[in-house]
Amino acid sequence: MTITLILLLLITIITSLMFIFIPPWYPRNVPSAPFWITLLPLIFDIDQQEIFKRYLAGPLYKHGAIKIFFAGRWNVIIQRPELISQVLKKEQIYNKAGNQKKVPHSLLAEFLGSNIISARGEEWRCYRAIIQPGLQKTFETEPIIKNAEKLCQILSRLQLRSMGEGIPIQDVLQRYSSANLLSCIFDCPELASQMMSFEQEAPLHTTQLNLKRYLFRPIYMSFPVLDRLSAVIPSRTKARSLIQQFSNLLQTEILRDSEKNTDKISKGVKCIGARLESAWREGILNLKQLRDNLNVLYVAGQENPQLLMLSSLYILGKNPAIQEKLRREIESVKINEISTQDWRDLPYLTATILECLRSLPPISQLINRRVAKPTLLGGIIYLPKGTYIGYNSYATNRDPESWGADADDFRPERWGTTDEQISMKYRGAKARAEFISFHGGSRACLGEKFALLQMRITLCVLVKAFRWKLDPEWEDKMTAAGPLHPRGLRLVFTELRA
């Protein structure tokens, strides 16, 4: 009996290790990235861009796809636009499968559950009917301008205090993008002004910072099976309690603030908090679905614009000539006229933002589809049922076949010089899945319009107020895991207004 048990245990361990270390047989014509690159960020101080260049770029550009180990399993990552197009078009074959399906026992799944981004079929249609009008209304620009002006005051004060040294920027941008989301999407002006008042604590901000620090540790992202032990791993117990804390805060604070606005109609549409709350009261959503959707909308709606701002400030800090050219274009805009600004008059601004999104997409890699039946993707890649498939937008957005030999260079002019040329290029690149930063097809990002408006106003206000550069003492490095962005970026700002 004991021997049988030991044998069974041994067999289980050996098969689990084989499953981890040995890539799956299929698809046979797709190379595998070595398993151990998953471990690199856990052991070395390595940059994701470096990992990409050394281990992924070659095979990805040659074969259009690669097998990689992530989130406890082997996945297929595709890079070629025509393959991505097919995945986006054929949802019935490439089913959307978020963390609640992929790693149901993980803390990430507990946090975000089934929501508008991860669900599919009837459930997704139900969430979308509630949420979409609140995301695609015409947004008022005044609250963003007000927040951006406050951001300038904060940066000036921080810069003054730092006596000419660089200031860390990510925390400030997190508060700023949260304030914009709270003002425009959730209609919570009081919470937004608390976010921008650096004299006060903003519990939503501090809890979110803390939660990110605990929840997204690379080892648990690569091996979510460890979350099964969350009751005995203190840092995971802490992550679980932060999930509860953050979700409770969102529910009470956002719904309380938006309750005051329940009857307030902004541009003909009730705000999202009020819409979600009505759906819950009418029994269309249960409490868990209400909370999951609030969580995901807050995280996606705040984190992605913040990462775009961070990377854009980094790129412009590194390219003073481009920053100066932008400044010359923006010079003609009066701050008090931004709300009525016709953005078509500022083609270089639009092209610069698109180039930032292309070069450093906030979501650089996404694995969120599961193959529903055996399939031959693009007539060449055989995918057995159950294969998890995703794409690397960093690779696709820099593919020399689509973007030319200078794809790695930052060159806003590649988008065109007039508004017409830029929007044609943009629409074409998105339709062909050559530019994949906002996903695509029926599941394309619903916050794109708001994200672009916010980014335009932010750059307009910042470029008029400051000239900035990278802190010479800051080590120019990207993150080691998770979203790819400059790590702990520090910038030196010089005021221009005076």
Residues that bind ligand HEM (CB under 6 A): 116-117, 128, 135, 185, 297, 300-301, 304-305, 308, 362-363, 366, 368, 437-439, 443, 445-447, 450-451
CB of residue 303 vs ligand HEM: minimum separation in angstroms? 8
Cα atoms in the Cβ-side hemisphere of radius 13 Å centred on 310: 30
Dist CA 309 CA 303 (whole Å):
10
Using CB positions, name the residue nearest to ligand HEM: 447
> Which residue from 368, 450, 364 is spatially nearest to 124, judged by alpha carbons?
368
Which strand (E) or helix (H) includes residue 330?
A: helix 320-330
Dist CA 348 CA 417 (whole Å):
7
* Tokens describing residue 73: 């399993």
Dist CA 97 CA 390 (whole Å):
11
DSSP letter, residue 260: T
Place of tokens 């016709």: 342
CB of residue 393 vs ligand HEM: minimum separation in angstroms? 7
Smaller CB separation from ligand HEM, 15 or 442: 442
Dist CA 411 CA 484 (whole Å):
20
Smaller CB separation from ligand HEM, 20 or 366: 366
Smaller CB separation from ligand HEM, 117 or 326: 117
DSSP letter, residue 473: T
Place of tokens 């010079």: 331
CB of residue 63 vs ligand HEM: minimum separation in angstroms? 23
- The phi, psi pair for 249, rounded to 5°, reads -60, -45
Place of tokens 């030196």: 492
Smaller CB separation from ligand HEM, 129 or 496: 129
For the chain, counts of helices (H) and of strands (E): 23, 12
DSSP letter, residue 217: -
At a CB cut-off of 8 Å and minimum separation 6, what does 312 contact? Answer: 352, 353, 356, 455, 459
Ligand-binding annotation for 188, yes or no, is no
CB of residue 309 vs ligand HEM: minimum separation in angstroms? 9
Pairing of strands 265-266, 375-377: unpaired
CB of residue 257 vs ligand HEM: minimum separation in angstroms? 16
What pairs with residue 77 in β-bridges?
66, 390
Contact status, residue 339 vs residue 408, Cβ threshold 8 Å: no
Smaller CB separation from ligand HEM, 273 or 301: 301
Contact status, residue 460 vs residue 326, Cβ threshold 8 Å: no
Smaller CB separation from ligand HEM, 388 or 474: 388
Residue 32: is it exposed, middle or buried by C-beta count within 10 angstroms (0-12/13-18/19+)? middle
CB of residue 132 vs ligand HEM: minimum separation in angstroms? 8
Smaller CB separation from ligand HEM, 143 or 166: 143
Smaller CB separation from ligand HEM, 64 or 447: 447
Contact status, residue 120 vs residue 91, Cβ threshold 8 Å: yes
DSSP helix/strand/coil, 71: coil
Residue 202: is it exposed, middle or buried by C-beta count within 10 angstroms (0-12/13-18/19+)? buried
DSSP helix/strand/coil, 103: coil
- The phi, psi pair for 460, rounded to 5°, reads -55, -50
Dist CA 9 CA 18 (whole Å):
14
Neighbour count for residue 89 (Cβ, 10 Å): 14
Smaller CB separation from ligand HEM, 239 or 297: 297
Contact status, residue 354 vs residue 421, Cβ threshold 8 Å: no
Sequence ranges of the binding site: 445
Sequence ranges of the binding site for heme: 445
